Amino acid sequence: MPDTSLDTVPPIPDFPLSREPGKPFDPPLEVLQRSKSEQLFPVRIWDGSTPWLVTGYEAIRALFTDARASVDDRKPGYPHWNEGMHSTGQKRPRSVFTSDAEEHTFYRRMLSKPFTCRRVEALREAVQKITDDHIDAILAGPQPADLVEKFALPIPSLVISRLLGVPYEDAEFFQEQSSMGLNRYATAEDTAKGAGALAKYLKGLLEKKMDDPAEDLVSDLAERVKAEEISLREAAQLATGILIAGHETTGGQIAVSIVALLENPDQLALLRDTDDPKVIATAAEELLRYCSIIQTGQRRIATEDIEVGGVTIRAGDGIILDVAPANWDIRQFPFPDQLRLDRDEGPNVAFGYGRHSCVGQQLARMELQISLPTLLRRIPTLKLTIPRDELLFKHDALSYGLYELPVTW
Ligand code: HEM
């Protein structure tokens, strides 16, 4: 139990219990006490454990860079997302997501080559072409069109397939498997099944690339397996992580950004009517902050006592770093609920911060910077076919997004 001498907060509202897509869900955590810090407080999560929920911008940045906040999900007391992650945690090979310090550097180095600015920039033309082709197909097709299926999801899926060297014909298979594992309510069986199927598939691909390499991430990893730097199992785990982290997130971000822009026509016009790369880059940052699609908190466990935001997190306490409220922290971002595409109030934490910050952030930024203005320019009359409140948001997934985005023009 976190150490805190605090007032009790009013009871949180009762949410209807539901597992249906797009419907409100049972609260994933229960606020226990208001802490004397405004930046973090203790909560109770699904397994009855009581980690700290960190919502303040300053505290989250301090903890993201604190080596005493470990990502090792095998440690007792680690605040797992759900039962599936908990029960498969011990068996999963270590990877970039779950290793600390030198071990983390070892895995992260394996991924650095494909995500260098040079390799990401080299994809720019391809991303523009993929975007244009998808818009051509939308314009040629029937109305209404679902922008999740026809735009937001296939663009990052194609890009990540290309970067990894995964044949796009297999995209449907990997989308299905990764959604299964990323569901907030995934059971141990779902997680093991989803991740297991992907890892098996990627092992096969790694073996193929060992004999027939190309200029892609799976070939880079295959080369390291051949050189006996990592095992085939570890390489498959790393590639699975990239595949899962790389398309569902960016797809969700594109879809939710479109809704945010349609709801703010003056801001939409700013992005549609500029070709200044700096203005577009600033706008994409604001959409990342405003939408903050990673909504269930990055997990850590304290290996020593940590003083932060005026309280002491004790060694062994779980920590949940919730980037969404931190990105809406009024002390850093005045009027946080307003979308202001020219905001200039410092970096947001949509991609985390510090040594575990998102490997794919340059790629994701580029995809947003290309896909959104291109869509707005080429289909300037775009509009939703149903009221915003009827949209099916992914309340039940670890990263926010939409199940469908029906539009006409
Ligand atoms: C809008 C899209 C995306 C968002 C909002 C996002 C968000 C994040 C966040 C918050 C973290 C930090 C995890 C932590 O500190 O615990 C992270 C890590 C990571 N992301 Fe992303 N991500 C996105 C797209 C991508 C893409 C496109 C890729 C790969 C192609 C990717 C690969 C990764 C990897 C491998 C890590 C782990 C890094 C490490 O632990 O060292 N992400 N991401």
Task: Reduce the secondary structure of 10-30 to three states and give it as a string.
Answer: CCCCCCCCCCCCCCCCCCCEE
Q: Whose Cα sits closest to atom 8 in ligand 1?
A: 351
Q: Is residue 45 within 8 Å of 79, Cβ to Cβ?
A: yes
Cα separation, 287 vs 387, whole angstroms: 21
Cα separation, 304 vs 96, whole angstroms: 22
Cα separation, 262 vs 384, whole angstroms: 8
Instruction: Return the H-helix or E-strand segment holding 312.
Output: strand 311-313
Distance 140 CA to ligand 1 centre (A): 34
What string of pLDDT tens digits covers the 409 residues of the chain?
333 333 333 333 333 333 344 444 445 567 776 667 789 999 999 888 999 999 999 999 999 999 999 999 999 999 998 777 776 666 677 788 899 999 999 989 888 888 888 888 889 999 999 999 999 999 999 999 999 999 998 899 888 888 888 887 786 777 677 666 555 555 666 666 666 788 888 899 999 999 999 988 999 999 999 999 999 988 988 888 888 788 789 999 999 999 999 999 999 999 999 999 999 999 999 999 999 999 889 999 999 999 999 999 999 999 999 999 999 999 999 999 999 999 999 999 999 999 999 999 999 999 999 999 999 999 999 999 999 999 999 887 778 999 999 999 9
Number of alpha helices (DSSP H) and beta strands (DSSP E) in the chain:
15, 13
Distance 164 CA to ligand 1 centre (A): 15
What's residue 47's pLDDT? Answer: 87
What's residue 1's pLDDT? Answer: 36
Distance 3 CA to ligand 1 centre (A): 31
Q: Write the DSSP assignment of 236-291 as a string of letters.
A: HHHHHHHHHHHHHHHHHHHHHHHHHHHH-HHHHHHHHT---HHHHHHHHHHHHHHH
Q: Whose Cα sits closest to atom 27 in ligand 1?
A: 246
Quick one: which of 351, 134, 159, 148 has its CA closest to 254?
148
Task: Reduce the secondary structure of 359-379 to three states and give it as a string.
Answer: CCHHHHHHHHHHHHHHHHHHC
Measured from the Cα of 354, ligand 1's closest atom is: 15
Three-state secondary-structure class, residue 313: strand
Quick one: which of 242, 234, 223 has its CA closest to 159?
242
Q: Strand 318-321 to strand 52-54: parallel, antiparallel, or no bridges (unpaired)?
A: parallel
Distance 406 CA to ligand 1 centre (A): 28
The residue to mutate among 240, 249, 319, 371, having the most atoms of ligand 1 within 8 angstroms of its beta carbon, is: 249
Measured from the Cα of 111, ligand 1's closest atom is: 35
Residue 307 neighbours by CB distance under 10 Å:
9
Distance 278 CA to ligand 1 centre (A): 23
Ligand 1 binding pocket (C-beta < 6 A) is 96-97, 108, 160, 241-242, 245-246, 249-250, 253, 293-294, 298, 323, 350-352, 356-360, 363-364
Where do the H-state alpha helices sit in 20-100? 57-64, 83-89
Residue 302, token pair as written in the block? 């304290």
Quick one: which of 401, 371, 190 has its CA closest to 293?
401
Measured from the Cα of 399, ligand 1's closest atom is: 5
Q: At what angle do helices 154-164 and 171-182 cross, to 10 degrees?
A: 110
Q: Whose Cα sits closest to atom 6 in ligand 1?
A: 351
Distance 46 CA to ligand 1 centre (A): 24
The residue to mutate among 65, 320, 358, 400, having the most atoms of ligand 1 within 8 angstroms of its beta carbon, is: 358
Measured from the Cα of 64, ligand 1's closest atom is: 15
What's residue 192's pLDDT? Answer: 65
Three-state secondary-structure class, residue 235: helix
Q: Which residues contact 368 (CB under 8 A, 6 or more apart)?
A: 250, 253, 254, 257, 284, 287, 288
Q: Is residue 398 within 8 Å of 297, Cβ to Cβ?
A: no
Rounded to 5 degrees, what are φ and ψ at 319? -135, 135
